[in-house]
A and B are shown apart, each in its own frame.
Chain A
Amino acid sequence: MKSFPFRGHLRSASYGRALSTALVTALALSACGSDPAPPAFTFQINSRDVVLTAVDRIEIVLEPQSLDQNFTTVPDRSLYGGNVFTRVSAAGEFVINVERPYIAEHGHTAPDAAFIMELPLYSTDATDDPVVAVPQARTTFIRGAERIAVGSRFLEWPLPAGGRAVATVSCIRTPMNFGPQCTNNDPVRLPDAGPSGADGG
């Protein structure tokens, strides 16, 4: 009686390779079915001397440490219903502009902080490049057209999924001047649209 045709030709090594290859491929395929979203990196902005309602806009500039390194140019983006804008500046910095509605919705206070807000970020390329130094995040609070508070800190790079960095922002003030622009809850708009009646001609 003729035996099963494969049996006489298969050597143990080949059979093992066939099995392991099929197994690895099947495992790889089965792993594809469940790829939950990794958690974002949380960039938390804290301030003890700037009240929430005094901030009209927040600008966060991620700046590469090296002068010859830049963020990859990507198209400008509008997120969160148009309340967060991102762009890459001509200097190669990644700029995030957070508008008032997002601040109002996500900002809050705490017993030890007058201002807390979190911003989820994630690196689109998680490759660890040894020659890329960690970027610095410069956070600026803007009221009307005036910079009222600044803070800086370095970020891990690439941004670790699930990680967190807390940036402390302090009111800009001269010595002995306690900066009412940071504590006045009644925003005073600068005449960026021009005084009323000035266009009358």
Chain B
Amino acid sequence: MRPSLLVCLALALFPLGAAAQPPGATVPGAQAPPQPPPAQPAQPAQPPPSQPPPAESRQPPPVLVVAWSDAQVPPELGVVIRDVVVEQLTPFVRRRPVVALTDPSALATVATCTEALCIGAQIANAGAVTGVLVSSTRTVVRAPARAPTVITLQVVDPVSGAERHPPLTVTIEPGEEARTAELLAPVTAQLGQYMPAPPPRASLLIATNVDEAEVTINGHPAGQSPIAPIVLPPGRYVVRGERAGFMVQQRTIDVEGGQAARLDLDLEPDAEALALLTAQEEEARDGGDQGPWYTRWYVLAGGGAVVAGAIVAVIIIATSSGGESTPSGIPVPPIE
């Protein structure tokens, strides 16, 4: 039986429990829109956030591509080579940026370096964890335009400038410039094995003084407190906690790599909101006690929903043979 059919039958049998849910929101596995937060009858006045949410997490030390060309190589080709190497190495570097050294003076220094320490120092000065040297040369025999471009690539360590492997070369014949990315791809794939390990992750424990507070991290729902420690990349996070009857709390925390950070969110009661909540609860209780049982709103709603549910269930059962709720293809399990 299809899961959605089970849900429908459940709705038909227990319509009151589903009354507060948006239509279709309880279908498991479907591409349902995110559920809105539960209605809070007493929304306290929210203080303005102390800091604006950050746009990005802090970036770990990058991989630095140092690319230079000799005078015979057209500058625009040199730029293409540099950008292609940056783009093709990016998939091999987990959670690290790959950036190109563009400072002309630093590039000139590297190009004239005669010792590994000199190159390593330039990479270290850029704050990079690894350097990728890319040199493009043309040996001119007759005319520069008819000479092949030889690209040499090598991964080196910062500070020491130690080479991690023998240089790899790619030759671009005249007229093959448009295939630069294609020709470089196999070699950059080989360089992938010399890329640095991913930066360590951090964990964040969010502790609240009250349970059942809705917690968000950078605007994303993180669940209701109490929440188990969350593993995330290093960076700055805006954590927000709210619960009906309490003032909204928002704090910002910088989490370092490998750190087990803790953030305490103390939600203070909101007297005005609590009073409103209490009044509404009393009103609901008073309204429910008046009149015979069959006049109560939930009895009427339940009766109507059962009738409607029964009709729709019959229709569903009659048409369920041709229905299909899961896409055809290869199911990929979730990541935990």
Contacts and interface: CB of A to CB of B under 8 A. Distances in A.
- A and B associate: yes
Contacts of A96: 330
B15 A17 contact: no
B326 interface: yes
B296 interface: yes
A106 B19 CA distance: 46
Contact of B335 (A14, A39, A40, A157): A157
Interface of B: 2, 4-5, 7-8, 11-12, 15-16, 18-24, 26-27, 29-32, 34, 91-92, 94-95, 168-171, 182, 185-187, 189, 192, 198, 201, 217-218, 220-222, 230-233, 287, 290-292, 294-298, 300-302, 304-305, 308-309, 312-313, 315-316, 319, 323-336
A35 B27 contact: yes
29 contacts: A10-B295, A11-B287, A13-B287, A14-B287, A14-B296, A18-B298, A24-B20, A25-B15, A25-B308, A27-B23, A28-B24, A29-B312, A32-B4, A32-B24, A33-B319, A38-B327, A41-B329, A69-B336, A70-B336, A71-B336, A94-B332, A119-B330, A122-B330, A124-B334, A125-B29, A126-B31, A128-B34, A161-B327, A168-B185
Q: Is the interface of B mostly helix, strand, loop or mixed?
A: mixed
Contacts of A28: 11, 18, 21-24, 26
Contacts of A6: 294-295
A170 B182 contact: yes
B195 to A, nearest CB: 11
A72 interface: yes
A132 B8 contact: no
Interface of A: 5-6, 9-11, 13-15, 17-22, 24-33, 35-41, 48-49, 62, 64-74, 77, 79, 84, 86, 88, 94, 96, 119-133, 135-136, 150-154, 157-159, 161, 168, 170-173, 175-176
A37 B326 contact: yes
A65 B233 CA distance: 10
Nearest to A13: B287
B187 A175 contact: yes
A5 B2 CA distance: 42
A109 B335 CA distance: 34
